[in-house]
Amino acid sequence: MSDITSQIRSMLEAFAAELTHAIRADALESVAAAVGGKLRAPHPTAAGRTKRLGRSPGRRPKGGKRDPDELAALQARLLAYVKSHPGERIEQIGKGLGVPTKDLTLGAKKLIATKLVSTKGQKRATAYWPGGGGHRGGGPKPGKTAKRKKGAGKRASQGATAKKRGKAVAARTTPAAPKPGATPTATE
């Protein structure tokens, strides 16, 4: 994030805190006037803002969306890293960029969807490759296997051939059974 953006954000947060303080003070005065007593407004902190409970100002709430500019910057860093370190897994990429892997997943998915990055492998063994990947030549894309027709393959075809061969050999080697009522021949 650029320096000017962070300055603007901090100024907006300070303004929002002061505005919230003024609105609360005004609401307390109107309630006090209606009740007929005097109520105290919350005291601002030393920095001139009211205390905020919960998260720190630099973190987004759990489940909150990231800023599109921040996400685009992360995607650009991720793409540059994958181009300079092809074939690395997400854990290695996260260490290299200094970013937690859970923050990289959305950016990686978007780069894969736009085909700027391709993958090979599954789950934690997934390796990331720039563009078309580290894959050259014909055949299936990285991470994909050629689909075979049902029953096809080396073992299946050998089994079928052996069965056919076995029937043919058995038919040639076994003598034919004599028919009932037939006379035996001299060759038997």
Query: What is the 8-class DSSP label of residue 50?
Result: -
Which one-letter amino acid corresponds to residue 132? G
Stretch among 2-11, 27-36, 73-82, 112-121 having the lowest mean pLDDT: 27-36
The whole-model pTM stands at: 0.41
Question: What average pLDDT is seen over the chain?
Answer: 75
Phi/psi at 75 (5° precision) = -65, -40
Topology at the third CATH level for domain 68-130: Arc Repressor Mutant, subunit A (1.10.10)
Contact 78, 107 (CB under 8 A): yes
Residue spans of the domains in the chain: they are: 1-53, 68-130
Of 102, 101, 75, which Cα lies nearest the Cα of 88?
101
DSSP lists the bridge partners of residue 130 as 117
The pLDDT of residue 147 is above 80: no
| 4 in Cβ contact with 69 (< 8 Å) | no
Classified as helix, coil or strand, 89 is strand
188 pLDDT band, cuts 50/70/90, is: very low
CB-side exposure of 121: number of CA atoms within 13 Å? 13
Q: Taking the CB of residue 86, how many other CB atoms lie within 10 A of it?
A: 16
Q: What is the spatial distance between Cα 11 and Cα 19, in angstroms, rounded to a whole number? A: 12
